[in-house]
Amino acid sequence: EAQLLESGGGLGQPGGSLRLSCAASGFTFSSYDMNWVRQAPGGGLEWVSAVSGSGFKTYYADSVKGRFTISRDNSNHTVHLQMNSLRAEDTAVYYCAKDIGTYGDSTMDVWGQGTTVTVSS
């Protein structure tokens, strides 16, 4: 059974940094694009970033472009989200999610339980 487990959330300072991680198991990790999706308190879902199976292609929402960096380590079955220049509006639950197929169309069939990021001084 495919599973994802996020970690690294917590309290971050405005202008500061946090690094989220997502550990994957139960599927051929390197074959699938991986995504980060966030949900602000009481809000809807917002796609944040994606990385191709090889790690060579990355994609970002305009709201985080230039501040966040997605990466993956296929040998350790993990995906990371480096979050720099944090803003209050980055406060959210961050979910890691797997693409359903190997063709990278951002249909997400497996989700982690989420990790909470709070940006506040």
Reference 79, options 38, 45, 39, 34; nearest CA is 34
Measured from the CB atom, the residue of 13 and 54 that comes closer to another protein is 54
Q: How far is the CB of 45 from another protein (least distance, A)?
A: 4
Q: Which is nearer to another protein, 90 or 99 (CB)?
A: 99
In angstroms, the Cα distances linking 72 to 35, 75, 80, 98 are 11, 9, 6, 13
In the complex, the smallest distance separating the C-beta of residue 61 from another protein, rounded to whole angstroms, is 6
- Output the smallest distance, CB 14 to another protein, in A: 25
Looking at beta carbons only, is 20 or 37 nearer to another protein? 37
- Least separation, in Å, of the C-beta of 95 and another protein? 6
The binding site for another protein (CB under 8 A) comprises: 37, 44-47, 50, 59-62, 95, 100, 105-109, 111-114
Instruction: Measure the CA angle with vertex 40, ends 15 and 82; round to 5°.
Output: 40
Of 25, 24, 20, nearest to 36 by C-alpha is 20
Based on CB atoms, which residue is closest to another protein, 27 or 60? 60
The answer to whether the CB of 4 falls within 8 A of the CB of 110 is: yes
